[in-house]
Structure 1
Amino acid sequence: MAKKSNKRKHSELSENNTAKENEPPAKKPVEKKWINKQRVLVFASRGINHRDRHLMDDLKKLMPHHKTEPKMERSKTLSVVNEICEIKNCNKALLFEGRKKRDLYLWCANIPNGPSAKFLVENVHTMAELKLTGNCLRGSRPVLKLFLQVFGVPKHHPKSQPFFDHVYTFTILDDRIWFRNFQILSEDGALAEVGPRFVLNPVKIFSGSFGGISLWENPKYMSPSKYRRQVLLAAKSNLYVNRKEQKLHAEASKPTTSYKLNPLDEVLKGGPLEMEDVNGNDETNETSDKADEFEDNQEVTAVKQKKKVIAKKKLSHKIKKIKKSKKQNKV
């Protein structure tokens, strides 16, 4: 049998070359443009504590489109934030404002025309504190329902990832907004919490950026200092009530007799042993009376000495006055 030649025919090669030449040129990959250019300035004023600072750092990690700024001095007004945002080329702002080193307020504003909202931040738990099982990439784009412009990562942002792997939830419960951050485990809807978590208690919504006409005010809002004062007053009133109850209970449970009398106790009354005890008691009473008289005498002498000292001071004061008057008359 003759071996088959492995060489191709010249006609087959020429047909393949012509087919390649007739194919349209490959399209160059189109560069995706970053259209939604949202930049959020995230910073704080002086006076926030360590936990609030860690919460701010956690939010910065979740928002790759943020920009930072050093702490704002207390002497500066909120209108300065608009100027800082213009310098940093930001159109949104998140300002953490601390009061009394225990209360945290969050300002969320649209620069420069508004609106802006003020919240009291409660029940703060940072990522490091929770130690939850969830995990997601930094900078990936979350699915949002509320605060879309501030917390939403812009599509095709240079620091973002081109997929969704975590979701923010802003749920309304008890007239408050509860924030949670979950990792998407599977397409079925299984979630695992990542953190941080906090609660926003809305205070006011303004028409302008960090000011202006108040569009809405929370009628159920109570300042933390007022709430703490009410708790203290309630505790004091409870103390008073408890004291009165204890007094009534003590009076009710007080025994009428010290102990029950036994008729056999009077059998040996007037014996020689009792007479000795009576004589001993008389002697002790005499010594105690003498000690009391001595103490009374000492008190009387001390009072007399004090009176003498006071009289001497008065005399010296009068003598000085007389001398001064004589000098003035001579002049």
Structure 2
Amino acid sequence: MSAVYKTLSKPSKSSSSRDATNGNAPHRTKQRVLILSSRGVTYRHRHLLNDIYSLLPHSRKDAKLDTKTKLYQLNELAELYNCNNIIFFEARKGKDLYVWVSKAPNGPTVKMHMQNLHTMSELHFPGNCLKGSRPVLSFDATFDSQPYLLVIKELLTHTFAVPQGARKTKPFIDHVMSFTIADGKIWIRCFEIKETAVSKGEKGSETENGINGAASGNAIEGPAAKSKGDGSSKISLVEIGPRFVLTPIVILESSFGGPVLYENKEFVSPNQLRSDLRLKKAGRYNRRSEQDIENKAKRGDLGLRTGVGKRKIDELDEKVLFA
């Protein structure tokens, strides 16, 4: 069936030459994404990389990168594999995960910190979509409020928007990728567009009550959207996964280098948070030690300390037994 579809959808040579002479040749967007990670990623990070690779049919997965300092080598890899977008997962200390999204070879590049990661198989999401289908990208209106958010929106669009007619793509659109900004972070969710038939009783209740609210669980219900013959269909969104949260850190002018266009002053690295926590615990220990020293000094001034004042050292004293 796929061979028949390719044969029917392929334009003939005469029509293509006629369009080229008239100047009406169809413009084909060529976007390819290179996905790879650094050394030290955990199994959850590796599963996330596989989930994103399965959602993006125009992507190519490569082996792990050995270096974390010479990131400009990724531009050479992208040129080698004929890719103009790069998603690089950088793991730090086996705990922290940073995501680099770049437009090769001229940039820009955004570095983000990933949190609240949940893969497709981790939470057993009920939704499902056709492998190789194209998504609908839904961006929050907050992306148009700041210039740096517009840059991030454009990078995410070039990376996650599967172009029409790309390699390994299917001519269907059956899932939505949502990008929402809350608390200075980018919340990313993926939903399946599910269409179910509506009976006459449900149709009458919908017309009386208006638009349905959000359903329980991970499904978002909507009103009847299409009419097919006698009945109608209802469109709902069921979460597929993966889900994660990105915190923008810095935006560079070129690909993995160049001047800094934006820097998030409110971002605190998780390594710094762990260091502050250790210092806080060490401060509590130091305060307890100083308090013990002060108590011993006070007991000595009052004559209550061993060997000082009226108290005499007996044969069962610790200093006599363990001398």
TM-score (norm 2): 0.63
1:146-193 alpha-carbon deviations (Å, 9 max, x no partner): 411101111122311111110001110110001110011135541111
1:238 Cα deviation (Å)?
A: 6.4
Number of residue-to-residue matches in the alignment: 225
CA separation in 2, counterparts of 1:64 and 1:157?
Answer: 8
2:114 aligned partner:
121
SS for the counterpart of 1:48 is coil
SS for the counterpart of 2:126 is coil
CA separation in 1, counterparts of 2:288 and 2:68?
Answer: 47
1:31 aligned partner:
10
CA separation in 1, counterparts of 2:172 and 2:186?
Answer: 27
Among candidates 183, 189, 199, match of residue 192 of structure 2: 183
**Where in structure 2 are the equivalents of 1:165-176 lying within 5 Å?**
165-176=174-185
Does the CA contact (< 8 Å) of 2:134 and 2:171 recur in 1? yes
1:43-92 alpha-carbon deviations (Å, 9 max, x no partner): 01111111111111110010000012111112660110011111111111
Question: One-letter code of the match for 2:92?
Answer: R
Say whether residues 1:150 and 2:159 are aligned partners: yes
In structure 1, list runs of 5 or more residues that go unmatched.
Answer: 1-27, 245-287, 300-331
SS for the counterpart of 1:229 is helix
For residues 218 and 74 of structure 1, do their structure 2 counterparts lie closer, same or farther at Cα, with a shift above 3 Å needed?
Answer: same
In structure 2, list runs of 5 or more residues that go unmatched.
Answer: 1-6, 12-25, 140-152, 196-224, 226-233, 291-313
**Where in structure 2 are the equivalents of 1:134-283 lying within 5 Å?**
134-144=127-137, 145=139, 146=153, 147-186=156-195, 187=225, 188-235=234-281
1:5-54 alpha-carbon deviations (Å, 9 max, x no partner): xxxxxxxxxxxxxxxxxxxxxxx945267811111000011111111111
1:74 aligned partner:
67
Does the CA contact (< 8 Å) of 1:135 and 1:183 recur in 2? yes
Question: One-letter code of the match for 2:257?
Answer: G
For residues 73 and 167 of structure 1, do their structure 2 counterparts lie closer, same or farther at Cα, with a shift above 3 Å needed?
Answer: same
**Where in structure 2 are the equivalents of 1:77-92 lying within 5 Å?**
77-92=70-85
Q: RMSD of the TM alignment (CA)?
A: 3.0
SS for the counterpart of 2:36 is strand
1:139 Cα deviation (Å)?
A: 1.3
SS for the counterpart of 2:262 is strand
Does the CA contact (< 8 Å) of 1:34 and 1:154 recur in 2? no
SS for the counterpart of 2:260 is strand
CA separation in 2, counterparts of 1:97 and 1:44?
Answer: 6
* Identical pairs, percent: 42
- Which is bigger in relative contact order (C-alpha 8 A, separation at least 6)? 2
Does the CA contact (< 8 Å) of 2:68 and 2:90 recur in 1? no
For residues 34 and 231 of structure 1, do their structure 2 counterparts lie closer, same or farther at Cα, with a shift above 3 Å needed?
Answer: farther
CA separation in 2, counterparts of 1:192 and 1:236?
Answer: 48
1:23 aligned partner:
none
For residues 183 and 242 of structure 1, do their structure 2 counterparts lie closer, same or farther at Cα, with a shift above 3 Å needed?
Answer: farther
